[in-house]
Structure 1
Amino acid sequence: MSDAGADRTNFCYRHPDRQSYILCQRCGRTICPECQTQAPVGVICPECMREQRATAPRTKPAAWTRVRSAAGRGAPVVTYSLIGITALVYLLQWIPGLGVTNALFFSPVFMTEVLPEPWRAITSVFLHSTSLFVHIILNMYTLWIFGRLLEPMLGRVRFLALYLISGLAGSVGVVVFAAPTTQVLGASGAIFGLMGAFVVIQRRLGGNMTQLYILLAINLAIGFIPGANISWQAHLGGLIGGALVGLILLETRSRSRRGLQIGLLIGLTVVLFVIGTVVARWKIGAF
């Protein structure tokens, strides 16, 4: 039984029992993941897709066009791409002499004037420990699970923004809560950000939160195990950052607020870099 008091504009016009926060870029109606077809910008509904095909020139699609069409039917290509890039970087980490790990890992000192390389706050997300193979396996498995849930719901560009901003927030968490000489790598901060965003979205959708809270609590608690060599600071920072991104995406989902959405996401990114820089400099006495 559906909630009679719910806002019906948040339900798919073709499947009234399915709640969604994605709008067709042409007609503006709400559509669920099953009804979405990827467009150059955003997604479009089946009716608008039929109209577009009816007016398009009749040509035989090339192989690449067919691949793009298959991806447009809902495959989480950003999730798969992130997993593929991370796996490639992991293989490169094993090649002697390349120095991939040394070039991309993060430490708070890189947010200061001593060694100004702030981009490492994001590049470190694509690194993993070569001495602990389970590190990358668990992270990529979790990315696969939450990516398949969130990417169709948010859209590819928004999902990518969520992942990268969460990774940045995880690095800022290390700056704020860890020693300035701490060195970190891994996708855990970004993945905790996906969890944080999913919590925010599930609460809005009215889903059962018990199992999700238990999963989140267990994963956070693991970071506090003595000798585990896990950065709970990155987990906490990523979780907070992801929740904020999820909230922004929910509150600015309508087409009329797209500019506000982009502005808020850029503003959050700038604020995170500023916090990381100010706190890192304060901790090492650069002020």
Structure 2
Amino acid sequence: MTDQAYNPANYCYRHPDRQSFVLCQRCGRTICPECQTPAAVGVHCPECVREQRAQFTANRRASGAPSRVTVARRRFAMLDQKATVVIVAVSVVIWLLDQVSNRALTQLLGYNAYYLPTQPWRMVTSLFVHSGFFHIAFNMWAVWIFGRMLENMLGTWRFLALYFISGLAGSMAVTLLAPQTSVVGASGAIFGLFAAFFMIQRSLGGNAVSLLVIIGLNLLIGFLPGTNISWQAHIGGIAAGFLTGYIFAKTRNVRKRGLQIALLVAEAVLIVVLAYVGYAIAFN
């Protein structure tokens, strides 16, 4: 597989060496994390921000309205990888509490298809529970590496949608393929990050064959006897990651934002419906 031709539209217009997936909500230009300013909807580029501030200042002077100090709030909004940091921090805290509570949180938050009708939230909460030190260490390392890259490329809300949709798909696949199995861990969501990163890199013209090899090798490990790894969750996460990455690639244009949200919601609903179908087949 060869690299596609260089496309300037896939790189920040102010930093041509920085690849990005995020577009300015106002003008549609590609911008890297350094050039992004969070807005009410999406992010804006430096030129659009300056234009808006100039217009705001002119309107304020014309109306005589007083200015408001929002520096602290704006600086917090500019922090990169907020969601990635929160996911890692919450997972580590839950793991520590689980260790000191004799695995009480594993019993409370872990996923088993048997609990689906009465405790459906376990499809998500199981992502934050891990069985041992090496389990959480490897998973959080993967979230930290790929999460930061993807959150920079996609923006926070798209990254969160990808993470939790992939995690839901992992629980759904366990329900369909191994309904009697109890699972914990963020592996399904992480494999979704791998798959989506591959799709996005290809859509931006990058060569991501090496990542595809990594996905295949890690998936293969789950089939080895004695590993006690839920390969079903990995398959579900990969499928959802490929689909979500494809949706992001095809609805990148600002004018397709509504379609993008609708497709993501439809994907999540389909995953939940399939999980209930799997439950009905296994327990009824």
Quick check: TM above 0.5? Answer: yes
2:255 alignment counterpart: 256
2:76 alignment counterpart: 68
Is the alpha carbon distance of 1:259 and 1:61 closer, same or farther for their aligned partners in structure 2, counting shifts above 3 Å? Answer: closer
2:202 matches 1:194: no
Deviation at 1:91, TM superposition (A): 1.8
Is the alpha carbon distance of 1:208 and 1:29 closer, same or farther for their aligned partners in structure 2, counting shifts above 3 Å? Answer: closer
CA deviations on 1:83-135 (whole Å, 9 max, x unpaired) are 011111112212337832211110112234xxx22211111001001xx2100
Matches of 2:4 and 2:101, distance apart in 1: 63
RMSD: 2.3
Matches of 1:52 and 1:271, distance apart in 2: 40
2:148 alignment counterpart: 148
Matches of 2:258 and 2:32, distance apart in 1: 23
1:127 alignment counterpart: 129
Matches of 1:194 and 1:272, distance apart in 2: 17
Q: Secondary structure of 2:120's match?
A: coil
2:88 matches 1:89: no
Deviation at 1:225, TM superposition (A): 1.4
Matches of 1:96 and 1:87, distance apart in 2: 14
2:108 matches 1:103: yes
Is the alpha carbon distance of 1:109 and 1:10 closer, same or farther for their aligned partners in structure 2, counting shifts above 3 Å? Answer: same
Letter in 1 for 2:181: T
CA deviations on 1:67-88 (whole Å, 9 max, x unpaired) are 41541xxx11110011011111
More divergent stretch after superposition (194-203 vs 7-16): 7-16
Deviation at 1:32, TM superposition (A): 2.7
2:62 alignment counterpart: none
Deviation at 1:280, TM superposition (A): 1.6
Q: Is the 8 A contact 1:175 1:279 kept in 2?
A: yes
Deviation >6 Å, runs of 4+: 3-6
Matches of 1:134 and 1:6, distance apart in 2: 40
Letter in 1 for 2:122: R
Letter in 2 for 1:47: E
1:235 alignment counterpart: 234
Letter in 2 for 1:79: T
1:277 alignment counterpart: 276
Q: Please, which runs of 5 or more residues in structure 2 have no aligned partner?
A: 58-65
Percent sequence identity is 51
2:22 alignment counterpart: 22
> TM-score by structure 1 length?
0.87
Matches of 1:4 and 1:268, distance apart in 2: 29
Q: Secondary structure of 2:48's match?
A: helix
Letter in 2 for 1:233: Q
2:159 alignment counterpart: 159
Q: Is the 8 A contact 2:109 2:126 kept in 1?
A: yes
Q: Secondary structure of 1:248's match?
A: helix
Aligned residues: 273
Q: Is the 8 A contact 2:7 2:205 kept in 1?
A: no
